[in-house]
Chain A
Amino acid sequence: MSGDLNSPVRERVALVDLPEDAIAYESIAILRERLAKRQLSPLELLDELLRRIQRYDSALHAFVTVTADRGRSDARQASELFGRGRHTGALCGIPYGLKDVIETAGILTTGQSKILRDHVPERDAEVARRLKQANGVLLGKLTTYEFAHGGPSWDLPWPPAMNPWKTGYLAGSTSSGPAAAVAAGMLPFAIGTDTGGSIRMPAAVCGIVGVKPTFGLVSRSGVLPNTFTLDTCGPMTRTVEDAAIVLNEIAGYDDDDISSVEHDIGDYTRSISDGIKGLRIGWVRHWYDGVASAHPDIAPALETAMSVLEQAGAIVEEIELSELLVYQDCKTTISITEMFSAYEHEFRTRPEDFGLMFRNKVMSGGLIRAEDYFQALRQRLWLCRELERAFREYDVLATTGWMTPAEPARPDVLDKFLRPPNITTPFNVGGQPAMTIPCGFSQQGLPLSLQLAARHFHEDVMFRVGYEYQQRTNWHLKRPSEGFVQ
């Protein structure tokens, strides 16, 4: 192959020699290189992913709406930009999906609730606008639990997303559609939301990377609210480097989000390969090791993961923080109170239209007294200060991404009102960036995950650790067998 990289008539590399799923599982970093070199066109990439969606999504239920026409239009525009040599932006021609709580102009946005089953927004959420501006290719709106909370609710018109790694298993919590779509090679990345772990948990059980950015770094403007004071939006990808690439495009101040913070946004990929020699990592082992709700395969996998980080030159020390239940009580009191206020009108006028799980988990928020809510907010500051003390001494905190592998789908069993505490929640309470990355498999062959958190706005440090880990392991390169197809 020869000639000008940007020439529209350059010969393309034939794709027929590549394995069928080679494009589908390519990282964004590689895809953008191939797109820029004209070895692959945005339309070819789009068509390959649409084929996979058509083939697999009837079993996985990752998509609420496939936006094939919009995707084709975006891909055509990206092709023109490549043709004219004006493919600016790291995501030009890269397909993506949005969790269905993120509003999209002219495209159905249901929040997976009967309350909004016909809701077509007039404007894009800020995060959707930024991805459009980056010339990404929108391929669909992705499955969630009702208003990003409290599922799966089997009495709603949309089935929950299933886990590509094992038939009959769930894809995690509320960003389950994004996680399943990325893990199954139907999308190179997706945007999820995380209020108590809803990006990190599905990423953990689907074997991908899920990033909850610092609270205030990515705008929530136009995202259906779950908990105003805790909600975040972030990338879900297959590699840490890809997460950094996506975060580069979506981070930044937005005047329409009252919690948005003006902060100098650097290039998160710039120092990603600088290594981790001398970085101090606080290992919060007591949150899972010896805890009854933790699966027995978790502790050995984390032990090995911490050894990998030590071998890479990090200084790893065990630390103790408050028990998870203390964080969970604080977070859930705040959450159900704020969620009830967000959907109070509907709770008063049409409560029967909520799914059973959402109704049962949120309706009690209407009975919580103002003084209880404020005691939870005061407790939150107490816990924020605890985390700040830890982050004064450690660059990164590490623990497991989730307490168990994926759970079986059991439509016959009602969810508990309060599950065992989430190991992801402390960093929502504290507002720090946190991410989960694959770190092994259970004996049943389901993904396990490592969670890393860093100081506020130090996503770059978190990415350095995650990137180094992925350079030394190959868990992120494993793919689900295609046995998930029924």
Chain B
Amino acid sequence: MTRSFVKASSPQTLKHLPPSTPDEIKLLARLAGLSLSSSILEELIKSYPAFEAMVRRLPRARPRFDDPAHHLVPPQGTTLRRSLDLTANE
């Protein structure tokens, strides 16, 4: 028998949202401060929907205490000690 280690994640995602239109993608690029030539902007309009769909598949509405995995808190407190050392040098 196959042993499963999968636990149900939050079922809430943003998959139901309609894909951004080319004009919306242009607006997002402008708001991001990207000044792109028309040919590169066209590339972005072609490539962005695949990434948008990916981001929208991520589960939302997690329990409040679900922390992010974060490399600034490595095992054994290495960074913490190093940060304290740097602070001391300042």
Contact = CB atoms under 8 A, between A and B. Distances in A.
A326 B13 CA distance: 12
Contact of A229 (B2, B52, B71): B71
Nearest to B56: A372
B36 A351 contact: yes
Contact of B71 (A228, A328, A329, A351): A228
A348 B4 contact: no
Contact of A216 (B25, B54, B67, B74): B74
Interface string A329-373: 110110010000000000110011000100111011111100010
B59 A375 contact: yes
A367 B52 CA distance: 9
Interface size class on chain B is 35 or more
Contacts of B60: 375
Contacts of B33: 348
Report the interface size class on chain A: 35 or more
A333 B60 CA distance: 14
Interface in B7-57: 7, 9, 25, 28-29, 32-37, 40, 43-44, 46-48, 50-52, 54-55, 57
B58 A329 contact: yes
A377 B71 CA distance: 10
Nearest to A283: B2
B54 A352 contact: no
B67 to A, nearest CB: 6
B69 A320 contact: no
A319 B71 CA distance: 28
Contacts of B62: 375, 378, 382
A267 interface: no
A452 interface: no
A376 B14 CA distance: 13
A418 B43 contact: no
Interface of B: 2-7, 9, 25, 28-29, 32-37, 40, 43-44, 46-48, 50-52, 54-55, 57-60, 62, 66-72, 74-76, 78-79, 82
Interface of A: 215-216, 228-229, 253, 255, 258-263, 282, 286, 317-322, 325-326, 328-330, 332-333, 336, 347-348, 351-352, 356, 359-361, 363-368, 372, 374-382, 384, 386-387, 389-390, 393, 417-418, 456
